Each structure stands twice: as C-alpha cells, then as structure tokens.
Structure 1
Amino acid sequence: MDATGTDPLVGQVLDGRYRIESRVARGGMATVYVARDIRLDRIIAIKVMHPGLATDDDFVARFIGEAKAAAALSHPNVVAVYDQRTDGEHVFLVMEYVAGHTLRDALTTLGRFGPRAALEIMQPVLAALGAAHRAGLVHRDVKPENVLITEDGQVKVADFGLARAETASKMTKTGMIIGTVGYLAPEQVTSGEADVRSDVYAAGVMLFELLTGHLPHRADTPLAVAFKHVNEKVPAPSELVPGIPLRVDELVTDATSHDPQRRPQDASQYLAEVADVFGGLPRDLDQRIEDGSRNATSVLETPATGGHTEVLDAGTLPADLRPERTRSDRAIGALTGRYVLVAIGVIAAVALGWAVWYQTSGQYEHVPSSIIGMKVTDARDRLESAGLTVRTGKPVYDDRVHKGGVARSDPAPGARVAKGEPVTLTPSRGITPTKVPDVTGKSLDEAKQTLKDKGFTVGRTSTTPSQTVAKDRVISTSPSAGERQSPDEPVDVVVSAGMSMPGLIGQNVDTAANQLRSMGLEVHIEKKKVDGKPANAVIEQNPPEGTGVSRGDEVTLVANKRDCVIDAGPIEIGCNDGETTENIPVPNVTGRTVNDAKSALEDSGFKVKVTGFGGDTVRIQSPNGGEAPRGSTVTIVRGP
C-alpha cells in the first residue's frame, strides 16, 4: 500500500468535511494523512486511529486525550490540534499541516550537529515542552521524529498522543511502558511512571544524539536498551566528539541523571540553562570542531602524488639527501618526521579552514527559529547582539502568536543572512478577531467563564442602575455581543446595580407604595406617631434613596399616624389616618374557611385579625363590605 492512492481512505471525505488527499506516515497507533478542510478550504493533517484500536476503550481515551491536551496548548512551537471527530469506525484528529521535514530527517542527512546548532534547535523544543509542563501535561515521547522543522525553519513539537495530565498519570496500566525505548527515563522502565522530569531526561538524550549522531545506549533488543537506561549513565558527548565544551557536556549529563531530583525540574528550567550555555559559546565553535574532527584523520596532500594522499617520512627520501644515522636514530627520526609532517598538515588545514570560515561563515548569521513568539523587544536584542540590523514591520493578526510577539520575520527563521543586513520583524496584533459572545443577563462569574471559553479575558468592570436588568446581572459589553475583536484585547463588562430606590420622604404613603409596587417591589408599611408631620406621610424608608434594588426585593415605608381609637367591643376596626388614603373594596369572606378568607383579604391589600373560638368557618367579618383603606385591618370571627 503506497501513499498515492491504494490506501482505502485516500479520496474519502470524513465527517462530511475532510477530504483525504494522500498518506504521509503510518505509526503503531495511527496513520497520518494530508487532507483538505472543504468547509474552510485549507490544507490540514488528519491522524486516524487504526481500526483495530478503535474498539479498545483505553486506546480511544488516550487518543482523544491527545486532542484535549494539544488543543489546550497555544504555543508557536506546538503543532496545533483543531478538532477531534468520529466517522463510523474512524476516530481521528484534525491538526495543523506542517510542510517541511522532521529533525530525524535532518539528523540522518547531516550525521550530527555542532554544539551551537544543537542548542539552537533544543530551545524551541524546550519552549514547547515548557508550555505543556505549565499546563500539567507530560509529552512522554520526546524524540527527533516528533520534532518538525518547517520550510521557513520554524521548529514545532508534534504528537502529544502519549501526553497525559500529570495528575492523571496513574491511569497508565501496571507494567505498561509508554514511550520510545531509546529515550526512556529509568523510572519509566522500572515503574512505568512518568512526570515532567521524564521529558527532561528524553530531551537530554535527544541533545546527546544531536551532538554525536548516536543514541547513548545501543543494544540488539529493546529490552537490553531499557536495561542500560536503568544501569548505565549517559556518557558525556565529548567522549565521542572531542572539542565539545564541558558546559555542553553538563547539559546532557545533568538532564539524564538517574535521580530525577538532580535533573532540571521541568522543561522551562532546562530551557533557561540551555539558553545560558548557548549565549556563552563562541560563534565559530561548530566550525572549529568540524575542522578539528576532519583534520584529525587527514594528512597533507602533495602535488608529486597527483592529489593522492601520501604520508611522507625520511625513509622515502633519496639516499644522498638522508644523513647517516644509527639504526636507533633512523627509527626515531622516521617516527619523529612522520609526526612533524602530520602536525604541519593539521596546522595548515586548520589555518585554511579559518580563512575559509572568515570569508564565508564568519560573515553570516542564521535567523534563529526561536524568535517566533518571542516578545519583539527580546527578539530585537537577540538579533542585534548577533550583529544583525533589525527593522519592525506592520503588525498583523496571527492565530498562534499573542499580541506583542513576533509573528514572522524576513528573512524567515533559519535563513542565512549577512551581518549588517536587516531582518524585519512583523509583530502580532493578536489572535485573529472573533465574535464576542452574548453574556447579557448572566451573572458576572458566568459572563467571565463564557468569555474565557471563547478565548477572551474581562477588562474593566463597571456598574450602573437599570430599571430592566436585575441587580448583579450583565447589562452590556464593550465591544457589543456579535462584534469581532481579537481575544488578546480585553472585553469590558457593565453590570446592573439594580433599580435606584426613589426618595419618598414626605409623600403620601399609599401613593408611594403604589409607585414601588409598579417597580415590582414588595412593600411593607409601618406606622409611627411623629408630631408635626402630616398624617399618613412617609417619614422613613428602607432602603434609603439611591440604593440599588431588584424586582422582588422588600422595602419598608414608615408612615406618620394620628391618634385614632375605634373600639367596637370584640371587633376592632382599622382606622383611616388621612383624608387622601386610598380606599379599596373589602371582599365578603363570610362562610369561607379561615385560611381561604385570610388569603383573599391579604391578596386584596388588607391585614387580617382572627378572633373567636373553635370551628374553621368565618361567621362574622368587620368591615363586612364596602370600601376600606388599603393596608387597614379586617377582623374575622371564626365559629362552628
């Protein structure tokens, strides 16, 4: 089965949206395809789980976990995951398509990297892992195959298929080792457990491999390799490649310590150490190591041999040019002459290499790939310290780089540029604008969560009175719901302080009560005698004027009452305290049950006093009809 058309999925449209165009790679867990999103008309990558695994709930859970883990990471050095879907028997992920090649391809082509080049590659790798570690995720399978290098030189970490929330690492099956054996930390071999320090170990092994071209532990079987991880230390890279500085050796040996406590405690800490060592390395270090490695096995070429390599010593000279020596002298002389000539050859080649370097590499610098996503000011400092001139272009929106970071550069990251020539940095205006969700009517906490789910943050929060929106509910946002804005820009929220309590002091209590009821408020009226105030006038109110209130809130009005006593024996009749008091009809409740009568009278706006002995039927009421002041008392007498 090839990648061009015999694969049965090629040509199919998954989920009615993703048309499979070609197969890219096949792994032990899934197959990766290039596809087109026909809805958005863009090229994407599709990772389809093998059908045999789709029936395994554990594998499906881990596969879907990849989507959730990677989709939660927003970092320019992480391959983006857009979606996770199921179409019949096909469980698949929709991912960013990265045109380029893997770090494994580059390592195979070059054999190995110099220290500066290796550390330059490791920095964006560790930046991506650091973002994952801050989110509580462990990659579990750090290796060159999972590091992609784009056509413009940007480095991206892929395949979080074995990533797992660190707090859920106990989900790993007992005895099951997840990862690639060449990069497994000792604790993964012995217990199957992995945390962020296991990723640091794998990164240290990968750095060793970049520097030497080989894995530190090699054997005939995977089990034997795993045994070496547990029982043998990773050697210093300089043991294989002389000339590698001690500080670079220590980056490898510290990260691959058998004791996790002695390693950098996460990828961000390891990144800081790598960046510090990288900044202190001579710019020509890689060329010097390469020249030294090449010349260590070289000898001087002479025109007399037609360009063929030949070692000259005194024994090859004509007899008349050779001085007489003893056998011992001749042996020593031949040996000494050979080493002298070899030494002269090495020196000449090194000098020639320096000259070539000065005319070529010494005049050039590479635009580092790690500047993408870096703050523009920091990227400017780094480039200028490398002898490059920096210009700033017009900001653009970018889906992967937050506002103020470097979205792209010209020349592109990884490109070779002559010293003194300009590099233009294009800042990000922020994430591409999207619609602001409608959060009106929600509580502030609910609104914040809704905005966060859409990638937005809340900016200023203010309050204002509202007659229509309940207290502590959102009235509006700026920008308004439905308008487009970059999620990097905050959304301001206006919250209702409720309706404003009017000032009612001095007004007739019944008029004031009717006004409050029209606002949907529950009104409680009390009476208090205050000399010098009009009868039935409001003398106190609670809450006070200007206080925010909402529909259903209870308010209290205190009205001034005048002396009024009407005593009708067992029947006490309510008193009208003012000429302007509103009179309302008194319902006739005679013959109804006491509870029904009380409900009817209270619903009509009266207070109720119950007297009598025994029985549950209203036999007498006072007043027994007509009209009475709102809020006055109706007495009912119960009987059998």
Structure 2
Amino acid sequence: MEMAGADPLVGHVLDGRYVVGSRVARGGMATVYAGHDTKLDRAVALKVMHANLAGDEDFVRRFADEARHAAALSHPNVVAMYDQGTDQGRVFLVMEYVAGRTLRDLLTERGRLGPRAALRIMRPILAALGAAHRVGLVHRDVKPENVLLAADGQVKVTDFGLARAETASRHTKTGILIGTVAYLAPEQVLTGDADARTDVYAAGIMLFELLTGYQPYQAGTPLAVAYRHVNETVPPPSSVIPGLPPQLDALVAGATDRDPARRPPDADRFHAAAGEVLRSLPPDIDAISASAVPVPPGPPPAAGGTQAPPPERVTQNLHVHPGASSSGRDGTARTPSSHTMVIPDHEGPPRKWRRRPRTYGLFAAAVVVALLLGGFAWFQTAERTARVPQLVGLSEADARLRAERLGLKVKAGSFRQDPSVPKDKVAQVEPGAGTQVRTGTLLTLTLSSGRPPVAVPDVRNQPLDQAEQRLRQAGLQPGRRLRQDSATVPRGDVITTRPAAGKKQNPDEPVTIVVSRGMTMPDLSGLTPDQAARKLAALGLNPQWRQQAPDGGRQPNTVVGQDPPAGRPVNRGDDVQVTITDQRQCEWGPFCSYDDGQDDGDW
C-alpha cells in the first residue's frame, strides 16, 4: 500500500458525505483512497481523477455516462460502483472497498501459477466480463492490476468505470485509446475498435502470463510490443513452461487469435471453454508443472525474419506515453511494459513535418518508395517459412485449421495408444512443433487411440459417492447417472454399471451408473386382503391391518385406504397401514352405512 505522505486530500470530505482516508494507490488517471461513507456508515474506495483529466469537460461527461453503465452491472465478481460526483472540481467515483491485493501483486510474489490455480482465478474474471458483455459493456483494460483478490478468496474485477457501452462511438474525440500495451488486441492498436472480443484477447494474454510468469511479447519499446501484437501469433504457453498440457495451449491460442472473428465471441464462451479444460486437467498438474524450468519468451525475430513495421499503420499514427511505475488497485498502475497509448485523430505526417522544406519531403518520399519497392521485391523472392505450431491434444479438425492459417498442409496418419492424450486427439506431429519449415509443407498427424482399456470394477450395492470414487481409482470416468426403481437395492445405492462389472472400457469414455430410486408404494385400492398381502410381501413390506365399517358404495372385505399413499418412496422392511372394510351386517340392513369410529385392532 502506498503511503499517503502530505496528500492534501486526506481527511477531506467529498460531497459532504465521503471522508477521504489513507491513499491506497496512484496511477496514470487517478488516485485511489480508502474512504468512509458517513451516510451509510460503511467503508468505500474513493477514486479521484487527476486534475488534468477533471478539467476536460468532454472526458468528465463521457466518464460520468460510463460510470452509470458500470453502476448498473451487478455481479459478485465485479467491484460494485456506488456513486459518482464532482466536488470543487474534483471528479470522483465511490466503489466497493475490497480488502486484499491485486493479481499483479500475487504474480510479483509467486512468478507464475499452476494450471489449475490459474484457471480457478480466470473463471471468475471471465464470469465478470461475461456479465458485462451480456449488457453491452466492454471493459477495454483487462489486466492483472484490475483484478482484486479479496482476503476471503473472492476474485473481483475493477475499473468498469473506464469501460464504455459497446453501442457507443468507437472513437473518442481526443483519440485516447484506453488500455495497456501488453494486453491490447491488434484491432485496438490499429483502429481503436473495442468490443467483447478485445476483452477476450486481453484475458487470453493474462492467462498466458498466469501460466508462464511472462507476458508473451518482450521488446525494447512499447511501440515494438504493439507491433508484435499486430503481426505475430502469441506463442503457446508450453513453449515457455515445458510439459504444460496441450489443451491450455489451445485455450490461449483461441482467445488470442489475431483475427477477432476466430476468437470466442464473448467472455461467456471463454468461461465455458476454460471450465472444460479445468475439468480435464490431472489433479496433480500444479505440482508437476512447478518443477518445470521456464524458457522465457524470446525477443522480436531478427531482421529479415519478419516484415518491417508498416510506416503508415503504426509508426506515424501511434504515439506511446509511458505510464506511472507504481502499482495499485485503481486499474491504471503500470509495470515496466505497461503504457497508455494515444492515437491522434489526424491522418498523415504530423504538422511539424509538413512545415519542413519541400526538398526534405521529396527526399523522404523517395526513401519510402525505395523501401516499399525493395520490400516488395524481397517478398516476391524470399522463401516463406513458418514454425510448426503446437497441435498435440487438438482434434484433427482443429489441428488442420490451425496449421492452414500458417500456410501448412495436414494429413492424418496412423493411430497409437497414448496414456497422456485423449482418444481421437493428436498425439504426435511430424515435423515436430517449433520446427521451421517452408509454407506448404505437409504435416503428418498421429492420432491417439486412447489409453489401454480398463476392467470396470464391481460397484453394485455401494453408495453412489463411493462407487464413483472406485471408478476414478480404476482410471475410469463416472458418466451419466440413470435412476431406476428397485425392490432389492436401497435408494441411492448402485444397481449396476454400463458396461457391467468385469467388462473392459476405454478410460476416455465414461461409465454410466444406474442408481436405485428404491421402491414406490403400490396402489392397493380395491384389492382383497389376500391380494394386498401378496403384493406387499413381494416387496418386503409389512402390512398393518385396520378395519372400518363399509358404506353403501363399497364392497366389504376390500382395501379402502393405505399409508404411505401410492407413489411414495419406501424401503424393504417398512410398515404399511392398510385399511379394509369389514364384513359385519347391521340389524336393519345387509351392510352398515356408517363408520362406527371403533378401532377393531390389527388382524
């Protein structure tokens, strides 16, 4: 926590209600303070905009509108927005106070997380973003600094006040593009466009960092980092942490595809995919990956390995200003690779360049033309190459799609048993992942036939939870649960499995479990005592007989009542109260037409 020092705002009361406490953090756009709401008597976080932004009327108006959008977003993984106002020229937000630390703090402390731990943090983040996307709200600045880890373990996303409605204008009047270079999607760099898919991209970059401890693009300047986002493919996490499961590589690759149309359309889809991957990971994967020796991501490719930065798309129109180096929970704290980017609205060279003498302009134009011609000639004559991507663990269709994006061809070869790769997924690629090959090279895929079959253990007559545990211990997956009536197996115990005990099953295919619903009480109405007794005996139930006088509409010596009623669950050995009409005659008629109220006892 940053010390308040001589901050003149500490102790001040904003809007006659909010007492400003100690300073928590200071970033490029605002300072965050611990505060107290005197009206509702609760702790709050106060985010006060810097004076240079508070003086911009357009920014203040836009910011207030976006704060109202964020206040309407209610989700347990979103830091709640309580209020927004202005006090003596100070523009401020009032937010939920979360006692804890940022995800950046955790990464600084631990370096990287295990796969299961990383996904357990990512899922609530994606749930929060998904809730925003469903109401048309885009965060635009997803990064570890904007994720708070509460002391009780809850994960919360903050700074939705900097988001804007997806339906609003794509560009601001001043041309400010809010975001951090390390997490910016290519379309944000090039055009400033932001929608749900840009949040997905940033979340994918953040997942890469959680898994590896590194941001995927390392470069000497923010401009170079932005260029790499536009022109390069995010490397698989397993290239940094050897041995990471291939489904994690596929998850990151899908979220960080440079083409927005190929990413999950919103955070809800990313959340669902992350859940599937989490369920597929071995329980001990975090301990296994902790022993891996990281291979830090490399610098940008050497000259000649990639295209030169396009001068009109990036170099002229993109100006990057370093942000503050402090860390904080206001969403604007900066790391050494975090910067706020500003894209001017004007096109073409800056005004200062246009004032230069005409000879300089002609010389520059000649240089640009020469470079373009030279680049075109090189492009036509150079041998194009690509690195074989990581395809192990993907389906044949997904592997083919990913390879074809790089100009490579694919054919499926043979199958082989592989205990570490699910059935029908890619087990091996030739040439291997990372190999530099010519575009058009044919990659041969070896598909997994799954793990060796395993005999299904006998779990009959066992409670469901114990049966599922035994199946897992045998290396099998518990699958669907089917409910079935049974007169012999108690409710909640296993009747049988499919395949049956002793049969062999592929570990990649789930085992169906048939679970007993127990018995349901049959309908005894209208039966004779003998018929009812035989039916109850077959179910192992104990009849307790009761009599009542017959009425004019019922035959004597028949069942007219039962407890439990028909359809109620029962177990073997349960007592059943059965009421029958007796055979006594009244002195004035053949049958009594009343209930004498007397208890004749059990038969």
The TM-score by the shorter chain falls in which range? 0.3 to 0.5
Q: TM-score, normalised by structure 1?
A: 0.45
Q: Does 1 or 2 have the higher relative contact order (CA < 8 Å, sep 6+)?
A: 2
Larger Rg: 1
